[in-house]
Amino acid sequence: MKRVIALTVAVAFVATMGCYNTYTIPRSELATLQTSESGEATVKDTDGEDVLVKDDTNLFVRSKGGKRYPITPFNFKMTESQLVASDHDYILDMNGLRDEAEVQHVSTWKTALLISAGAALVAGLVVLTVFTAGSKSQSAAAP
């Protein structure tokens, strides 16, 4: 029974994470996301695809060392030397950042597939537990 509870907790944790499609955009496209009148903009990723960015889209920049900094679209300021994201209290040196930024969209089908697989696994364990609950187990004989 402890295994079933542990697995259920693990599946619940994984299900809250969700799955994302990540697009890489060049710094020049990131600069267009500093302000917006409508609260959304379309930018080109490094593969030439159009990527829609809204107020609630996940947007990140990375340092050359690999640290990831979330920034809010349309609420930051870029200059030649700094990126200032006041809502996250960031003042980042542009020379220390990679030349690309990341845009993430929630992937509905990947997330649904992950949740379905977790639910099927839990259901399988429950059925297995029900069918093996009445069987005898071998134990060491008492002296």
Q: Helix, strand, or coil here: 60?
A: strand
The token pair that represents 20 in the structure block: 């994302």
Confidence (pLDDT) at 136? 61
pLDDT, greater one: 82 or 135: 82
Average pLDDT along the chain: 84
pLDDT, greater one: 49 or 7: 49
pTM: 0.66
The answer, yes or no, to whether residue 72 has pLDDT greater than 90, is yes
pLDDT band at residue 120 using 50, 70 and 90 as cut-offs = confident
Query: Which residues does 39 contact at the CB level (< 8 Å), separation at least 6?
Result: 54, 55, 74
The answer, yes or no, to whether residue 78 has pLDDT greater than 70, is yes
CA 89 to chain CA centroid, nearest Å? 22
- Compute φ and ψ for 34, nearest 5 degrees: -70, -40
